[in-house]
Amino acid sequence: MSRRRIPQHRFGWRRRAHTLALALAALIAILGAGSGLAAAGSSVNPLSITAAPATAPPGAKVAVAARLDNSSGTQEAARLTVDVPPGSSFVGPAQGPSGWPLEYSVDGGATWGTAPPADAAAVTNVRSAGQLPAEAAATAGLNPMSPVGAVQVSGAGDGFNVQFASTRIWTANHHERPGKGTWLRCFDRVSGQPCAAPFPAAGHAYIAAAPGTPFGQGADEFGTPNSAVAFVNQSKERIYVPVQRGGTSGPQSVGWLCGDLAAMVSCGFIEAGQEQPAQDLTVAAYFPSFNAAEPWHPTDAGALLYAAGRSGKVYCLDAATGTLCPDNARAALATGLDASITTFPFVTAAATSSSADHPSYIWTTVSPNPRTGILQCVDPSSGASCFGAPSLTLPNPFPAAAAVSYSQAVPMYSTTGALEAACVLAQELYQPSVWLCYDPAGARQASWEARLKAVTPGDSAHFGARVMYPLAGGGNLEPWSLMTLSKQLGSKVYLPWVTYPKASADPYGDGVNSVGCFDFATSAACAGYSAAQRPYPENMIYTVEQSDVNPDCLWWLGNVGRLQAFSGSTGALGCQPLSQTELVVQPQSCVPLDGVHYTSLRVQGLPAGVTATVVIRAADGSILPQGAGVTLTNGSVVDLSSLPVGGATSKLTATLTATGAALADLGGATVSIGWDAHFAALCLGIVPKADCTAAVALRIPAHAVLAPAGATPVTTEATAGVSVPRAEADCRLALAKTINGQAVADPPGVELPAGSAVHYGFTVSTPGAFTLGKPDVTDDRATPDDTGDDFHPAYVGGDTNGNGLLDPGETWRYQHDTTAAATGPVINTATATAPGASNNPVRDKAAYTPQPPAIGIVKKINGAGTFTADGAPHRVQVVPGAATKVTFEVTNTGATALGGVAVVDAPLKDGDAVLQVTCPRDSLQPGESMLCTAEGVGVVGEHDDEATTKGNPIGPDGRPLVGPDGKPLPPVTASSKAGYQAQPDALGLAKKTNGRPGIVDLARDMPVTWTYVVTNNGPRRITDIVVTDDKEPKVTCPEPAALDPGASMECTAQGTAEVADYRNRAAASGRNPDGKPVSSPQVEGGYRIPAPSPSGSPSASPSTPSGSPSASPSTPSPSPTVTFTPTPTPTATPTPTPAATPAAAAPNPPAPSAAAPQAPVAQGEPPATATQQPPSQPVPAKAEGSLAQTGGGSIVAFVLLGLVALVLGAGLRSAGRR
């Protein structure tokens, strides 16, 4: 059967609610919503229009619905139009009555088109025209009739029973092990084809325990029992299948899996208890410890489902509610049901009366060994046993047979429905079967045995089928009865059979299947019923089921996947032809359907001899009572007026099944469902526009034309109103200003390199719901008091619809580009206005602080000598005449690149030389440094110089940066001072005789100690120091003989006063770090021994120092003296002590040797006599600069200075001689 879905319909309220609806519409419509001309002959306007909400802010959608009622009781032609009022915009899509085309106009109704305009806001009118019915209905033609016979649902398989639900057939295979996933199958009941999606494409599936899991997905963890008796709750389309959870040890759950057949998803696992694990005998032999009986009193809504476990416990599920029965697991059988391949347990439910709503007996038949059968009985509610004993041991009618099997217990009822017996069929291969019947008290009932014998087929008839399996204890093949169940339908019970000829060599090859029938109403074989037969290989009958749409059509299902239909009244194979049609109705309208009800279901055009039944389901799939059990013929009507259009019955699904004795043509037959909607509705949406000049009151007009057949068309109008409020906040203007994308209003704001690009951004919007006029934006250029230089930034975009108005949701953008100033901070204020804005004008400011260009320089002489930060000299020591290296580290300490970078070095003292500075390049990036250099020669003295560097701010292209005034930024400078001090290496010597300087008086033969104090007056360490004395060869000095700058040491020599007038000269010498000699000036000292007085007068005291004044007239006048001041050293030079008046010279002083060096005056000593020589070291010439330039000129100057010194020295010696 194919499924036919009817298009959705849109209709409205019932006529009896019409007056109330018009009154409500009139209250909602504001500002005088009125109506136009009424239809002819009516005092009520058939046209109404509503707008919701009645008050809507700009931009909010307003739902407009125009409704045109048909009160004439006959169909009328009609046209319905709604105008889009000025001050609003149409928003699609529009929705009209079903089958009525929509038309749109963009020019006020002058022209119309069926295609919605691309710009919905351009629509000015919408209309729709068609036939206005007196009642709405949905109709479907019936599908053709098809023969009903056999359906091959699979090529093989181990099916057990068949269930029907809607248009599908479902089968549940038995003894399927977990993980195989093939025990659930689905087919179309007419074509026999596998069900379409969402059923798995493989054509088989399983049901998982987790609710909502699609069939065939999730964990496949359950096995099906040997009696996989499934049941379908037709009203809910739910299937319940008995199962046991897989497992090899410990108790495992037993119960029922629930499947939602409409959605094809699991509705959960209902656990009834736990039993020992299933017996897995490999291959297809998998037997859970859970076997079910046929449902007790099945109906469309449910049944009681009973099952017994291996433990003997009796379980029950109420399929109407999907919950366990109150007596679940309350009762237990005396002997457990140890199911195996050779001992099938059978379970049957029965009651004292066939009409009882609850069974009184649960019978089981079990064979503990191949020759024994036990019949047990228990009351599931009380647990009481039957027969006066817990069980009966069944007799063996075939004592010579190797094996006997016993069928399920079949309850037998009297013609009044009272239970009289439970009958079991004893079977042995190739022997006539024997019925064994017992009443509830345990008494044998031979009369029932005889009556059943009459409906049992001939030789070797077996209840169900025969199979041969090896016994558990041996290898021989033995026959056993296959599991099969009888089916009681009303007063009749149907018994599946298979028969074998006695002499058959192949019991599988010539067997015959059939189904017998016994009628309790007559206590005899069913009248008019003749069991049809089919060859055994076609099937092995397990169960018999009744069609849900044709009670006389029964189906058997067995082992090879073939469903065979047969007549329950005649037994003939095949059933009456069948047609199934599904009509889905879901009334819809763009106006509320409150109060609308369905009217009826009608069947039209059924041929004679064809009848139909219908099943009507609500939106959730549940079966409704309307039409249930009713036989429909041509013109039949099912009343549906109690069903509202909405809620659970907002959607109806009607499945109509038509049958007849023969195939009939259903080409003109229809099924329809109507509802009392007799109006047409046109719905659309509008959005109020808004400006900020005044509030807007929208009036929405609707127009209708009704043209009853044979009457003059009538025009009518109606109006709805919508108020559009406006608040101060709806018309606000917003302005935001940024600098290079950053919104910083207060200083310091954004930090920018001076001369860099500045991008001012301006955005203007309205946070309200109304449109403003075109904005105007100005900027004060950081001069709030001067409006003459204000500028208008350039408009960039944002007017998305191009209407020149600032609409809600739009953001207009402006931009102005300039360059950063050299100094700051800079604060610009922007001002914006817009027509209609409630907060005109609005302002926003943005600030930035320029990062000025800057340069730095550090000057160093031989890596040091830089003045301190406060300008204090910090001179480095250099060696006179040595090459010096001057460095200038120049760094770009600003935020912009610098070009034209150069360094100029200038002395701070007139006459000092100017150095020539060399730099590696002339540009620096921010943070970049370079090292410039110059070279010179150390000149004696202290010398300071100042280096100055300069750079011009440039851009990435190397061009000068300009400020916002367009002029280049000024250059930046920096300076650094450094100095040095140069002095020669020098040694000083002080000589004393017995602790006194000069010439001292000593007594003859007195001990004499000469001391020589050597001082390092230079800037460097002097080593290898020795003192030489022209008269005293043995001068001893301490070791090591080395002195650091400013240090002194004392050397000594010893002697005896023997000469009347003794003079000696001494000098110190050593080597500087360069290995060159360094000498001190010569220093003279000595003693004299005074002569005795010539007249015997006392002579002068020998201890009188030679420096004491003498009254002797013979004392010569002091010789003229020449003093020489050495080159200053870094240490302060002590003030010389005034020379004492010399004593009288010896009568014949020895003339000094011309070649002997003259000692200079030591520091702190009296000046030397005229015979002293100037220092042997050359006197430095006056420097031309702080660092003399190296070259040949310097060498010549030093040579000339030396010659001058020699000439001066010769002159001094000559003067001394005189």
Residue 875 scores a pLDDT above 70: yes
Say how far apart CA 299 and CA 304 lie, in whole Å.
Answer: 10
Q: What is the pLDDT of residues 1167-1181, one digit of tens each?
A: 333 333 334 343 333
How many CB atoms are closer than 10 A to CB 107? 10
- Residue (of 690, 776, 701) closest to 730 by Cα position: 690
92-101, 383-392, 775-784, 1090-1099: least confident range: 1090-1099
Identify the pLDDT of residue 1164.
37
Is 597 or 499 the better-scoring residue by pLDDT?
597
User: Are 692 and 836 in contact, with CB atoms under 8 Å apart?
Assistant: yes
Q: What is the pLDDT of residues 787-816, one digit of tens each?
A: 888 999 999 999 999 989 999 899 999 999
Tokens of 1051: 């050397």
812 CA to centre of own chain: 33
How many CB atoms are closer than 10 A to CB 384? 13
Identify the pLDDT of residue 511.
67
Identify the burial level of 684 via C-beta atoms within 10 angstroms of its C-beta, where 0-12 means exposed, 13-18 middle and 19 or more buried.
buried
Q: What is the pLDDT of residues 81-123, one digit of tens each?
A: 999 998 889 998 899 988 899 999 999 999 999 999 999 999 9
Identify the pLDDT of residue 109.
94
User: Are 340 and 281 in contact, with CB atoms under 8 Å apart?
Assistant: yes
Element (DSSP H or E) covering residue 1201: helix 1192-1217
Identify the pLDDT of residue 1094.
59
Helix segments in 439-532, DSSP class H:
446-453
Is 1183 or 711 the better-scoring residue by pLDDT?
711
Say how far apart CA 739 and CA 634 lie, in whole Å.
Answer: 85
Element (DSSP H or E) covering residue 1212: helix 1192-1217
Identify the pLDDT of residue 1117.
37
* Band of pLDDT at residue 865, cut at 50, 70 and 90: confident
Say how far apart CA 1023 and CA 440 lie, in whole Å.
Answer: 142
Identify the pLDDT of residue 44.
82
Residue 841 scores a pLDDT above 90: yes
Identify the pLDDT of residue 537.
57
C-alpha separations of 154 from 158, 159, 488, 838 in Å: 10, 9, 27, 80
Identify the pLDDT of residue 128.
95
* Band of pLDDT at residue 717, cut at 50, 70 and 90: very high
Identify the pLDDT of residue 960.
92
Identify the pLDDT of residue 403.
75
* Band of pLDDT at residue 770, cut at 50, 70 and 90: confident
For residue 121, which phi and psi values (nearest 5 degrees)? -65, -15
Say how far apart CA 815 and CA 1171 lie, in whole Å.
Answer: 96
Q: What is the pLDDT of residues 325-360, one digit of tens each?
A: 999 999 888 877 765 544 567 889 999 998 899 999
Residue 1126 scores a pLDDT above 60: no
454-458, 899-903, 920-924, 972-976: least confident range: 454-458
Block residue for tokens 């003693």? 1087
The highest-confidence range among 68-72, 1073-1077, 1146-1150, by mean pLDDT, is 1073-1077
Q: What is the pLDDT of residues 638-662, one digit of tens each?
A: 999 999 999 999 999 999 999 988 8
Say how far apart CA 10 and CA 661 lie, in whole Å.
Answer: 40
C-alpha separations of 871 from 865, 867, 876, 947, 1050 in Å: 12, 6, 15, 14, 41
Say how far apart CA 1112 and CA 866 lie, in whole Å.
Answer: 63
* Band of pLDDT at residue 212, cut at 50, 70 and 90: very high
User: Are 578 and 145 in contact, with CB atoms under 8 Å apart?
Assistant: yes
Is 578 or 30 the better-scoring residue by pLDDT?
578
Mean pLDDT of 965-988: 89
In what side-by-side order are the strands of the sheet with 842-851? 750-753, 842-851, 826-833, 776-779
How many CB atoms are closer than 10 A to CB 33? 23
- Residue (of 216, 211, 220, 217) closest to 238 by Cα position: 211
Domains of the chain, with CATH numbers?
A: 31-134+680-724 (2.60.40.1530), 153-329 (no CATH), 579-588+596-662 (2.60.120), 728-851 (2.60.40.10), 855-982 (2.60.40.10), 985-1107+1157-1174 (2.60.40.10)
How much is the mean pLDDT over the chain? Answer: 81
Radius of gyration of the chain (CA): 65
User: Are 679 and 71 in contact, with CB atoms under 8 Å apart?
Assistant: no
DSSP string for 532-576: -EEEGGG----EEEE-SS-TTEEEEE-TTSEEEEEETTT--BSEE
Cis check: omega of the bond before 411, within 30 degrees of 0: no
Q: What is the pLDDT of residues 29-77, one digit of tens each?
A: 333 333 333 433 446 889 999 999 999 987 889 999 999 988 777 888 9
Identify the pLDDT of residue 1188.
39
* Band of pLDDT at residue 1209, cut at 50, 70 and 90: very low
* Band of pLDDT at residue 536, cut at 50, 70 and 90: low
- List, in sequence order, every residue forming a beta bridge with 864; answer none if it has no partner: 861
Element (DSSP H or E) covering residue 624: none
Residue 1127 scores a pLDDT above 70: no
User: Are 1155 and 968 in contact, with CB atoms under 8 Å apart?
Assistant: no
836-840, 1095-1099, 1134-1138: least confident range: 1134-1138
Say how far apart CA 285 and CA 833 lie, in whole Å.
Answer: 91
Residue 1133 scores a pLDDT above 50: no
Question: Exposed e or buried b for every residue in 557-568, given b needs 16+ CB within 10 A?
Answer: bbbbbbbbbbbb
Residues 6+ apart with CB under 8 A from 109: 81, 83, 124, 125
Is 232 or 202 the better-scoring residue by pLDDT?
232
Residue 542 scores a pLDDT above 90: no
404 CA to centre of own chain: 71
264-278, 939-953, 1196-1210: least confident range: 1196-1210
- Percentage of the residues of the chain whose pLDDT score is greater than 70: 80
DSSP 985: -
Identify the pLDDT of residue 1069.
95
Is 156 or 438 the better-scoring residue by pLDDT?
438
